[in-house]
Amino acid sequence: MAQIKVASLQKSYKTGKLVTPVLRGIDFVVKESEFISIVGPSGSGKSTLLYVLSGLESYDQGEVYMFDQLLTDYNDHQKAKLRSQDIGFVFQFYNLMPNLTAYENVLLASVLGSQKSKKEVLDILEIVGMKDYKDYYPSQLSGGMQQRVAIARCLINDPKIIFADEPIGNLDYANGIKIMELFKTLNQTYHKTILMVTHNIESTSYGTRTLHMLDGKVIDDEKKSQ
C-alpha cells in the first residue's frame, strides 16, 4: 500500500527578487513499512524534501498525496490529526523539555493525540531501552539516551510514518549505531515506515531503499536486498 505519492514536485525559495530552485521535479512512491534513506551533498534538497512530505513546508508545483489524499486538500482538523497521530518526527537535536523527566517528556507528547496511561508510556520507554531512566532529566542523560527519549516521544501516539532528519548527526559512532539498530527494529518488528535524511552513507545499510539526491533531483533510487 502506498502511503505517500510524489509527482512532479517543485519548490523554490525567494529572497527579494532572487529565486532559488530547491526541488526540481521529483517523482516517487513510499510504500507501507519501507525504510527510506535520503542522501546527497549539502544543498541538494534533502531536508526540504522531508519537510514538504511531512507537511511542515509548502510546495510550489506538483502533487503530494499522503494516505491517498492531496496534502493541499487537508483541512485544519485533518492536518491536526495527521501531525498528532499519523506521523512523527525525530530531529538531529533532541528538543526535549529540560525541566521534565524522560517519562514526562513522553507523556506530554501524548497530550497531542489521546492521552496515554502510565503503563503505555513505560512500555514505549522500554521499547527504546529507557524505562530504567524514566525519572532522569535530559541534563542527566547522554546524547544517545536523549535521542532514545526523543524517539519514544515520537512513538507514543503510534504514528504510521516517522520522519527523521539527521537523527544520528549529533552522536558519536557507537551511539549512532545503537540508534540505527533501534530504527531498524521499529521498521522490521513494529512495521513503521521511516523516511530518514542522512549524511552518513553507512547508516543507509539499515534501510530498505536509498534515494540519492543532487541539485534538487532524485538521481538514483536504490532498493536494498533484504
Please give the Cα distance from 46 to 196 (Å, whole number).
9
Q: Are 21 and 45 in contact (CB under 8 A)?
A: no
What CATH number did the domain enclosing 47 receive?
3.40.50.300
Instruction: Identify the pLDDT of residue 111.
Output: 76
DSSP 172: -
Helices and strands (H and E) in the chain: how many:
6, 10
Instruction: Identify the pLDDT of residue 53.
Output: 94
Instruction: Identify the pLDDT of residue 113.
Output: 64
Q: How many domains does the chain have?
A: 1
Extract the residue ranges of the chain whose pLDDT is less than 70.
112-114, 225-226
H or E, element range at 27? strand 18-31
Instruction: Identify the pLDDT of residue 110.
Output: 85
User: Which pTM was predicted?
Assistant: 0.93
Distances (CA, A) of 119 to 2, 7, 66, 123, 179: 33, 42, 31, 6, 23
Q: Are 66 and 55 in contact (CB under 8 A)?
A: yes
Instruction: Identify the pLDDT of residue 77.
Output: 86
Which of 209, 206, 195, 205 minimizes the C-alpha distance to 165? 195
Which of 5, 21, 40 minimizes the C-alpha distance to 210? 40
Residue numbers of the domain that contains 102: 2-223
